[in-house]
Structure formats: C-alpha cells, structure tokens
Amino acid sequence: MDRKANAQMESDTARGLTKREFLKLGGLGALSLLSIAASLGACGARKKPKNWAWLSEDRFPSRDAWGRMFDKMKRHGVDAALVLAKPDTIRTLVPVAREAGIELHNWIISLMCGDEDVRKNHPDWFVVNRLGVSCLEKPPYVPYYTFLCPSRPEVREYLAARVSELAEIDGLAGIHLDYIRYPDVILPVGIQPKYNLVQDREYPEFDYCYCPVCRQAFKSQAGVDPLSLEDPPGNADWVRYRYDSVTQLVNQLIPLAHGRGKMLTAAVFPSPTIARKLVRQDWPSWRLDAFHPMMYHEFYNEGVPWIGEVTREGVEALAGRAKLYSGLFVEWLPPEKLKRAFQLAMQNGAAGLCLFTASHMTDEQWTALKEAVREFRG
C-alpha cells in the first residue's frame, strides 16, 4: 500500500481506533418462550451470562499488559477474549489468559485479504464486480477493500489451511471469523454519507462476484450466465447462489476446528435481514457454535432499543441451534446506556455481550457492566 493510501486509512481511523480495530467495524466499521426458558435455569434462577470482548494485538506492548487487561476483564464480568493477533502471539497468550481465567479465541480476518503473497501470485482469487472489474484493480470504498471469492476451491483451501494451523494451538479455545462475507453491496445507512453515496439499490460497481468461477458455477446450476440476466439483483437464484457460497465455505471449516476440539464462531452483520441485504451473509444457515453480531447502532442511525430488536431477530432465526452474543460499540454507550444495552440483549435471548473493544472501556463503563451482570442474576 502506498503512503497516500496509508494516510487515507489513518484518517479513517476515527475515534482513536487502531487500523485493525477500524477494520473490525465492518469496513468503514421475540422474546419467545424459548429465549425466556433459555435465560432461566432449571430452578428459575437466571443463568450467568457469558460476556466476550474483542481485542487487538497492536494495543498491547507486553505480556504484562495483556495480563492486566485479562484480569480487569475477568473482574468485571467478561469471560472470553477474541484476540486479533498472529499465531505466534496467540501461542504466548495461552498461559496468560489461562492464569486470568479468560477463554482465549483467535479473531481472524478471513475473506478480506491483504496478504501480499496472495495478491501477487493469485490475483484471480479476488472478487469481480458486475462491470467486470476486479476489486484488486479497483477496490470499492477504500484502498484495502480487497476480498477473496468464496466460490473458488483454492480460496476455500487457503482458509482451511489457516484454520487448521490455528486449530493445532494447544490451549486455544476457538477461532473467530471476521469479514466472512462479500464487500458491502450496500453500506450501512449511517455510513453512506461519508462516501457521498445514496445506495437505494444494488449498483453494479459494488455488486460481486462475477468472476469466471462464479459465472460458470451458476450457469451449470441455473442454465444462465448471471451477467446475461436482465435484473441480476432481482434474480432470487443468483442472490441465493451467493448466500450459499459463503455458507458452504463456513460449513467446510467447521470440522477442521471441531476435530481439534476448538469452537468456531463469527462476527456477523447485526441481524439476519441486514446481513443478507448488505453483505450476503445468510448466517442462520451457518452451523457455527456461536455468533457475535455487530450491533453498532449508530451506523444504522438507530438508538439503544434497536439492540434489543436485532438481538431478538437473531435469536429467533437461530432457534436454539447456537448462542448469540450481542456485539456492542462501547464508545457510543456511556455507563447507563451500556447497562440498558446489556438488559435489552439478555431480555431478548442473548447469552451475553461482546464488547468492541475491551481497550476502549472506561473505568465507569467497567463498573456499570459489573453492576448490570450482578443485577441481572439477582
């Protein structure tokens, strides 16, 4: 990446986020009887929530700094850490997390790919838009927005190898997939003005993937080249093809993690409806152990009550097949709002929260979280 692009990215890292944390923003960053039953134990006592936090390697200069953060998390009601770091760092963190009583997971960027070897040697692995342009030549929105095509067997093998390598790490509890999706065909509504866009429908420059592999696979399945469809976004089979492509990839990774006793989880868009519409994630079809939907309300011009609504939609769609942890953007949630968000998540069937990020929590927020967990359990 050239210096100009770097400067652009740095200016994009609003609110004091590091580059890695910024990437996490997703780019540019019924209260049913079932869920009530799930939140109540056998004798009517409420179950202990399990709370998580995302953490990025570039925030922590030393093993001691990690240890202090893990201790603080544990003291305030957080049980698991999703850490974005290289495998070597993750190995060194296993004993540190264990000592603090924190469950350690490795958070990885999956289909978005900045790997120089892949970019240089396999340019054909990257998604192509409806105008025939590869995201490698002309990335949408920002220079680093380069995504691999989930339909390609070589891409599936590449990600399988990454997950397999991590699954070998003793003491690691799980692997957490981020950017397991297409580029946003439609950006979250609160972000569109930043790019001077009004995305009232699917525009061809943001609509992926029309690479030769995808065109051929769809043609053999549906009898027609997607590029020759009159209205590609309106064709239900073509829309479904892309949902299924990501779903198949995810479901192929699961045995690689489970075979080594690891959980496989993912950061997904906030509700199944939004996830399908914006990034083609049909996540209720993924057979993962848990989901951490990014309910970053201000990106959708929403308030705190919306966190309860999208939690409910996700919990109902999963129908008890996997746990859901409501992902919160903590800088938009001062202490009282953070408490409210926790209550809404739990009342609507979440198994706990996931904080983006632990590093951005103030002492007042940590105290509020601890109180909220205590009050919930009664």
Choose between 149 and 373: whose C-beta lies nearer to Zn ion. 149
Q: Rounded to the nearest whole angstrom, what is the least distance from the CB of residue 209 to Zn ion in the complex? A: 3
Report the residue from 108, 149, 169, 264 that binds Zn ion according to the rule CB under 5 A: 149
Give DSSP secondary structure letters for 112-172. B---HHHHHH-GGGB-BBTTS-BTTTS-SSSTT--BB-TT-HHHHHHHHHHHHHHHTSTT-
How far, in Å, are 12, 35, 57, 118 from residue 9 at the CA level? 5, 41, 18, 21
**Contact status: 135 vs Zn ion (CB under 5 A):** no
Q: Rounded to the nearest whole angstrom, what is the least distance from the CB of residue 3 to Zn ion in the complex? A: 31
| Summary count for the chain: helices (H), strands (E) | 13, 8
> Is the backbone peptide bond immediately before 367 cis, with ω within 30 degrees of 0?
no
Q: Rounded to the nearest whole angstrom, what is the least distance from the CB of residue 208 to Zn ion in the complex? A: 7
**Contact status: 288 vs Zn ion (CB under 5 A):** no
Residues 302-361 within binding reach of Zn ion (CB under 5 A): none
Can you tell me the distance from the alpha carbon of 100 to that of 83, in angstroms, rounded to the nearest whole number? 15
Give which of 29, 19, 174 is closest to 102, Cα–Cα: 174
Q: Rounded to the nearest whole angstrom, what is the least distance from the CB of residue 149 to Zn ion in the complex? A: 3
Q: Rounded to the nearest whole angstrom, what is the least distance from the CB of residue 220 to Zn ion in the complex? A: 14
Choose between 211 and 361: whose C-beta lies nearer to Zn ion. 211
Can you tell me the distance from the alpha carbon of 299 to that of 302, in angstroms, rounded to the nearest whole number? 8
Choose between 124 and 371: whose C-beta lies nearer to Zn ion. 124
Residues 195-214 within binding reach of Zn ion (CB under 5 A): 209, 211, 214
**x/- track of binding to Zn ion for residues 59-88 (CB under 5 A):** ------------------------------
Choose between 10 and 237: whose C-beta lies nearer to Zn ion. 237
Q: Rounded to the nearest whole angstrom, what is the least distance from the CB of residue 156 to Zn ion in the complex? A: 12
Residues 23-62 within binding reach of Zn ion (CB under 5 A): none
How far, in Å, are 151, 253, 255, 281, 292 from residue 289 at the CA level? 23, 12, 12, 16, 10
Residues lying near Zn ion in the complex (CB under 5 A) are found at 149, 151, 209, 211, 214
